[in-house]
Amino acid sequence: EYAAFHYTIYDNPTISRDDIEKLRSNTTADTWDLEYMAKESPHAGIVYAEFSYTNHVKSLETGSWTLVRGLDWGISHPTACLWAYVDVKGGKIHIADEFMRSDLLIDESCRAIARQTGERHVEWSVIDPSTAKRNSHTGRRDLDEFNRNGILVIPGDNKDRGYDITKMFFKKNLITIDPKCKNLILQL
């Protein structure tokens, strides 16, 4: 007394094969499997299923690429900072260095990040946008404390960005990660 049917995007007679392939090339693996192929993704629960150690972990000469930093502030969870070289013309990113440490105050984190940055010129630094809220203990914004302590930051904009953009960069092999970034590699 039951019937079951299984259709994928390929069964839709109104969408051309060219349009399907175009869509597939710009869709993450887990979204493709779930939304267009109507099947559970083998990557369920893995945020960055597109990451491949073989494809994405390598040393790279960055030459005249632009150096930027990304920060995620935390006390009980670690403060993390990634140094990334960006090839603006080629649209590629190379994560070259990392810092990760728990139990540091903002000024201590800033000193450690400045020490690790050394003489390298950082074009800009982006920090988790939650740091733009006022701290309930100090009444000041955490990102202002980073700025006051010499790590000039702007809040990130997670709207229409974030995970999916990063996943597409992995899918299209536009991100590489230096092997010394062991914490990042482990998290991915």
Which pTM value belongs to this model?
0.76
Amino acid identity of residue 75, one-letter, is: I
Strand segments, DSSP code E, in 64-111 are 66-72, 79-87, 92-101
Q: Which tens digit of pLDDT belongs to each residue from 98-114?
A: 999 998 999 999 999 99
* pLDDT at residue 44, as a whole number: 65
Q: Which tens digit of pLDDT belongs to each residue from 170-183?
A: 999 999 999 999 99
Range list of H helices, 64-141: 106-117
Residues 6+ apart with CB under 8 A from 72: 79, 80, 81, 127, 128
Separation of alpha carbons 122 and 178, rounded Å:
18
Name which of 83, 74, 127 is nearest 105 in CA terms.
74
Q: Flag whether pLDDT at 134 surpasses 90.
A: no
**What are the backbone dihedrals phi and psi of residue 138, each rounded to the nearest 5 degrees, phi first?**
-100, -20
